[in-house]
Structure 1
């Protein structure tokens, strides 16, 4: 979520035609930025081993991201998801543009906020609160957060959903798929429909605040009394389909630890805690909060703990999938190439009858991706260029025809969580003994 010092807002377009118009204008800005020559270059390169390299002016990039930030909802969320996905579904140009949306969100104006509060709490909604801060403390693609104090003294954070977001998810994604294909933003031969359908399901879950409340309670039960983490409690008497009321928690976004004011020991500890939690989510909880946005983690320096926020993207992992990832992690740590192959086939990373050279290339890629797992002692994420090496090698393999199958769509968000945790470790320039914690989690 983005954080604010003042309340500048724009109305959230809530009607289908209005959102289609905004998205059409956004893609028009993008097409204008690419230009006729660039669009022709993209079209010519669709089936080639070398993707098109086009230049997009900063002004058109700004217009495109500004418009999606004003739309909020699925249009903005998909930009965030796809820019962090790590599966190379988008061209580098598209991913670079969409990455600007990770830290962008506009709050709704007071007039629109007041209508939501009256609709959910009634005309006398203000009588419920001793204090209500109209300036939002955070905003994201689905809603914005306000601080409040109830008449009985509870200090709360109220997550208030943008109007029309829930109803616009399906049309937003359909429109995104149409415009994405029109502009040639996905590589030829890749069917993104299953992935977009999975994204559609996740976005509907994120807009379901009752489901998020249940997920927070379930996750808190798994974490237990761990003093290193705090999960706000839900206040169901003040929660509605469009408002989620929870404990207010102090803290700063955890990526602020990258600031020189914080010690390396704090950065290393925070990254280690969150990396261990990521492993526990998959292998112990089978319940994963799949949105690794850095702002979903707050660092509470006073209590030395990390506050966990935003459980709308939480999903359970089927036992067979947990077993397959356990097999893959174990084989990766032990440099068991035969084990890696069988796990990769089960997960859909490669076909059972792929040519030997394709299999070897894929296993090499998996070994590269698992570098932090395979290195004894502390892996220095800050000094590593692993992300660049994995990206470049993955792009080479994608355009060489090595990928004959695609992983199950439900693994997309697990990949994003793994990648997000590693990206945070790099942002913090942290050293993490990932091998030791993985071996303990896997009981090797």
Structure 2
């Protein structure tokens, strides 16, 4: 792979060949069965070949194809184990790397954007990229002031490629649907497409990252690298080391898994309260586990390093209080109050009448992690939730199809669902309720004695919107709606 394929016809041909490849392998599998091989062996081999082709093509094309693959990767936990096994290695590989851009292309971009003497800005610059993602790749270097830096260079033609890929992928979204049972793939692709221009603008990414870096400066739990320099197609930030979350998922200790899970929940859902921004790309490639201590000296617990602020949701008032309020009502078992609240917020359309008790019964299994002091997220639990919602015969499926996801909650929902997917991949035990009480507006009821509201607690610690009214409701809604 020598460069980013930019011609629409080339990219379209590669993507359009995927469904044909799926069909061809199905025919191959039938032939193997005819000559006497067992269904189990043939099925496993078929899944493996399909996974390898799918994610090889997505990784090579980068652009929207790889972005879609990364978005899918966090939902691996929802797949049945016999399907997930062959996919897991390919998905994890996609989270961390893709074929690199040629050195000559990197140099051309840097010369155009930083000037002919760009190399003098660096004491060191590694030609081999340390990471390659959907719209750019990262090189390690040493800035002229001695700071170690990450140099993010955008692929030429990335915008055109993103739009072309996502348009093409949407055309055969129904064929991709079986990858994640119970999930409607098309809205995911549409939402990714709607945010293309924002992600291509490195000035927006730099502003979002710097806002987080300043807010979390000296934080004992979270490290966000400072922005060093930014211009069109180039973003330079401080370098951070650490263990990629994908490696913790693969073979981390239980201590690392639990700590990473707690901090992931803490950062992603306290961020809006502290910065007015929601980090909206929580796949494992964007996180590192670092030795603790604000100075990186290794004293103390592990810290979470956070990368890539290209996609954020702007929430100047923090997460909507309606999320915490509906979650609290559900935990209290107040079916009528939950139903009235969901209707008022648009989760139940005016034209539809539902049984409040049935709605409560639908929500309770989904918000199970918020009902206990500590909850262990597992792939088995995630698969159980997905299977219940996806099964057309189940009451959860029937009810979920009648619920609605208001557009303003779409990105919050995706981030929440993605975060839960990563927590399940980690197998982390998380004290979710602690985070909800600290950071989620509306979750802690207002004190009738002095009129203080739960948001007062947001100044001190943090919390996760994880299994909130949005996730409990629309997590099922969107999945069920697509089944």
TM-score range, shorter chain: 0.7 to 0.9
SS of residue in 2 equivalent to 1:23: helix
Quote how far apart the aligned CAs of 1:191 are.
8.5
Corresponding position: 1:364 with 2:361: yes
The 1:191/1:61 distance shift into structure 2, 3 A limit, reads closer
Deviation of 1:129 after TM superposition, in Å, equals: 1.7
State whether structure 2 residue 388 is matched by structure 1 residue 393: yes
Provide the secondary structure at the position in 1 that maps to 2:305: strand
Partner Cα separation in structure 1 for residue 148 and residue 226 of structure 2: 11
| Corresponding position of 1:106 | 99
Could you say which residue in structure 2 is the equivalent of 1:16? Answer: 8
CA change 1:193–1:270 in 2 (3 A) is closer
Structure 1 segments unaligned to the other structure (5+ residues): 1-8, 39-52
Structure 1 residues 432 and 82, CA gap change in structure 2 (3 angstroms): closer
Other-structure match for 1:380? 376
Distance in 1 of aligned mates of 2:136 and 2:382? 31
Superposition deviation, residue 15 in structure 1: 2.2
Equivalent-residue separation in structure 2 for 1:316 and 1:95 (angstroms): 36
1:70 to 1:427, Cα distance in 2 relative to 1, 3 A: same
Q: Distance in 2 between the 1:242 and 1:427 partners?
A: 33
SS in 1 for 2:134: coil
Judge conservation of contact 1:235–1:246 (CA < 8 Å) in 2: yes
Q: TM-score under structure 2 normalisation?
A: 0.74
Structural mapping, 1:33-72, within 5 Å = 33-35=25-27, 56-72=46-62
Counterpart Cα distance in 1 of 2:156 and 2:201: 13
Matched residue pairs, number? 413
**Counterpart residue number, 1:30:** 22
8 Å contact kept, 1:166–1:204: yes
3-state SS in 1 of match to 2:100: coil
Change in Cα spacing, 1:385 to 1:55, as seen in structure 2 (3 Å) is: same
| 1:289 and 1:313 in contact (8 A); partners too | yes
- The one-character-per-residue Cα deviations of 1:211-246 (angstroms, maximum 9, x if unpaired) are 10011122234435422211111122xx22211100
Pairs within 5 Å for 1:244-393: 244-257=235-248, 262=253, 264-282=254-272, 285-301=275-291, 302-303=297-298, 304-317=302-315, 319=317, 322-346=320-344, 348-352=346-350, 354-357=352-355, 360-375=357-372, 377-382=373-378, 385-393=380-388
The counterpart of 1:144, out of the listed 126, 137, 141, is: 137
TM-score normalised per structure 1: 0.80
CA deviation profile, 1:129-162 (whole Å, cap 9, x unmatched): 2211112111221211110112332211011122
C-alpha separation between the residues in 1 aligned to 2:419 and 2:316? 21
Task: Supply the distance in 1 between the matched residues of 2:50 and 2:251 (Cα, whole angstroms).
Answer: 34
Q: Secondary structure at the match of 2:146?
A: coil
Q: Secondary structure at the match of 1:67?
A: helix
Provide the aligned C-alpha RMSD in A.
3.7
Alignment of 1:161 with 2:151, yes or no, is no
Contact 2:151-2:236 within 8 A present in 1 as well: yes
Structure 2 distance, partners of 1:295, 1:186, is: 20
Mapped contact 2:335–2:359 kept (Cα < 8 A): no
Q: Which moved more, 1:78-87 or 1:222-231?
A: 78-87
1:122-271 matches, within 5 Å, as 122-181=115-174, 195-223=188-216, 225-236=218-229, 239-257=230-248, 262=253, 264-271=254-261
| Deviation of the 1:87 alpha carbon | 13
TM-aligned CA distance change 1:35 to 1:339, over 3 Å: farther
Of 424, 427, 446, 1:426 maps to: 424
1:255 & 1:97 partners in 2: Cα distance? 14
Distance in 1, Cα, partners of 2:176 & 2:220:
49
Cα distance in 1, alignment partners of residues 278 and 252 from structure 2: 32
